[in-house]
């Protein structure tokens, strides 16, 4: 901000604002007289602020609702050239942090109208990103509306807009949690041992959170809702969502911001009561499915495992075990037992391979494996998780050499090469498993 606060930067901002307002007045001279008049009034307003105030940026922010109004009216014309000019001017104001909470709300409402009319979609995404990354004035309903706008654009038919919106959503989700971390730093919120929220009402716990933390909580809760195909509480206006994209966002948050869930009991509650049951529910098709089994004898056909979802689920499970084992001892026992089941011979080969990859990620962390032994195998009435993992990997290695050879010699040679590679990979995993507890 030091660069934007310098006298030269402030002077340049005032010049650019007046230039933008003159250009807007000229463009709207014939077709949109009200916008022209608003632009000319805006020029006078900017000059008055510059003449009467020593703290020009603070004065601009205080009067930002009036200053930005001509540009909002220009966007309302829905003329491409005028809209582009106005969005560029609004972005310039936001980059200097001279937009108040009220003005930011008005800007988001205008962006929503442009989105519904399919106008300047890439420019809309850029404007939302500038607004949320350079300012902290957007909270609650205004923030949720901005996020929904990005989600809606992610599911348009245009591939460029779709991909740009996906990247914007990821960045905006990260920004929301970064704000919370910064808020914690400002208020020195450090809790070494989180105490889980008691009771079943997650709504009751929201009142204990600070503004940025509340936004992060509501966002994460709704991501869980959407992945579970339920209606969101906070992201009102969502019309479409895919489980694959939702799981990617959940994994990103859990992996990048583990301290949020370890230091805040409200987020610990979400982890235990929303994320874990969701993961177990989505794993259900993978558990029930048996490769080669006949569905005619069963009363209802068993849903086949879906590779994109299963792969992302296992990534989420890996993060949950690695980052939150101390918080989710019982849940991790279930997850580890599921991983072992996925190595069964009657599971699809790709599912077994993905499960092996997930187990290998855990094998390279000796402290985690020692915890498995202490929490599960060394207790009388607990699942022998460590033993089951070793036995499952051993059985999987043996199964690789029981595949009947084909009549094609080259195919047999290639298969042998692949089996040797997998054998070395799994054998190294077994070695890790055996020595890590010594």
Tell whether the model's pLDDT for residue 51 goes beyond 60.
Answer: yes
Report the alpha-carbon distance of residue 102 to residue 64 in Å, rounded: 8
- In the prediction, which pLDDT does 400 show? 74
- In the prediction, which pLDDT does 303 show? 57
Tell whether the model's pLDDT for residue 380 goes beyond 80.
Answer: no
- In the prediction, which pLDDT does 128 show? 96
Tokens coding 45: 């307003």
Q: Which of 281, 285, 286, 274 is nearest to 250 (CA)?
A: 274
Confidence of residue 3 (pLDDT cuts 50, 70, 90): low
Tell whether the model's pLDDT for residue 195 goes beyond 70.
Answer: no
Confidence of residue 324 (pLDDT cuts 50, 70, 90): very high
Tokens coding 433: 């498993």
Q: Average per-residue pLDDT in the chain?
A: 83
List strand residue ranges (DSSP E) for 135-230, in order.
none
Taking only the tens place, the pLDDT of each residue in 326-366 is 899 889 888 988 888 888 888 888 888 888 888 888 877 77
Taking only the tens place, the pLDDT of each residue in 57-75 is 888 889 999 999 999 999 9
Q: Higher pLDDT residue, 217 or 399?
A: 217
- In the prediction, which pLDDT does 203 show? 46
Q: Higher pLDDT residue, 417 or 261?
A: 261
Report the alpha-carbon distance of residue 218 to residue 235 in Å, rounded: 8
Report the alpha-carbon distance of residue 255 to residue 250 in Å, rounded: 8
Report the alpha-carbon distance of residue 310 to residue 230 in Å, rounded: 20
């Amino acid at each position: 901000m030091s660069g934007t606060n310098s006298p030269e930067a402030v002077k340049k901002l005032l010049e650019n604002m007046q230039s933008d307002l003159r250009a807007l007045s000229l463009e709207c001279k014939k077709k949109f007289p009200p916008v022209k008049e608003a632009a000319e009034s805006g020029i006078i307003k900017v000059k008055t602020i510059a003449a009467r105030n020593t703290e020009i940026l603070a004065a601009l922010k205080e009067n930002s609702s009036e200053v930005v109004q001509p540009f909002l009216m220009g966007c309302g014309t829905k003329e491409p050239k005028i809209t582009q000019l106005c969005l560029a001017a609004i972005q310039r104001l936001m980059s200097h942090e001279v937009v108040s909470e009220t003005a930011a709300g008005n800007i988001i409402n205008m962006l929503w109208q442009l989105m519904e009319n399919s106008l300047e979609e890439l420019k809309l995404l850029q404007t939302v990103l500038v607004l949320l990354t350079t300012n902290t004035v957007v909270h609650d309903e205004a923030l949720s509306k901005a996020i929904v706008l990005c989600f809606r654009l992610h599911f348009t038919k245009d591939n460029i807009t779709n991909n740009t919106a996906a990247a914007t959503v990821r960045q905006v989700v990260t920004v929301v949690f970064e704000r919370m971390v910064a808020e914690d730093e400002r208020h020195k919120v450090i809790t070494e041992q989180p105490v889980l929220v008691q009771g079943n009402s997650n709504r009751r716990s929201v009142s204990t959170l600070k503004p940025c933390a509340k936004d992060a909580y509501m966002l994460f809760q709704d991501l869980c809702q959407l992945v579970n195909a339920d209606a969101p509480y906070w992201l009102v206006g969502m019309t479409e969502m895919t489980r694959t994209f939702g799981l990617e966002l959940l994994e990103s948050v859990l992996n990048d911001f583990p301290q949020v869930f370890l230091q805040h009991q409200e987020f610990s509650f979400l982890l235990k009561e929303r994320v874990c049951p969701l993961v177990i529910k989505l794993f259900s098709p993978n558990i029930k499915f048996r490769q080669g089994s006949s569905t005619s004898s069963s009363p209802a056909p068993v849903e086949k495992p879906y590779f994109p979802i299963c792969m992302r689920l296992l990534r989420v499970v890996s993060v949950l075990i690695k980052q939150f084992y101390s918080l989710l001892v019982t849940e991790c026992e279930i997850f580890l037992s599921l991983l072992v089941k996925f190595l069964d011979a009657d599971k699809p080969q790709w599912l077994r391979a993905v499960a092996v990859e997930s187990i290998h990620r855990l094998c390279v962390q000796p402290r985690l494996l020692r915890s498995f032994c202490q929490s599960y195998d060394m207790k009388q009435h607990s699942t022998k998780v460590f033993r089951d993992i070793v036995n499952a990997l051993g059985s999987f290695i043996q199964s690789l050499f029981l595949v009947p050879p084909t009549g094609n010699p080259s195919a047999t040679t290639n298969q042998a090469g692949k089996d040797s590679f997998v054998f070395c990979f799994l054998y190294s995993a077994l070695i890790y498993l055996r020595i890590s507890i010594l």
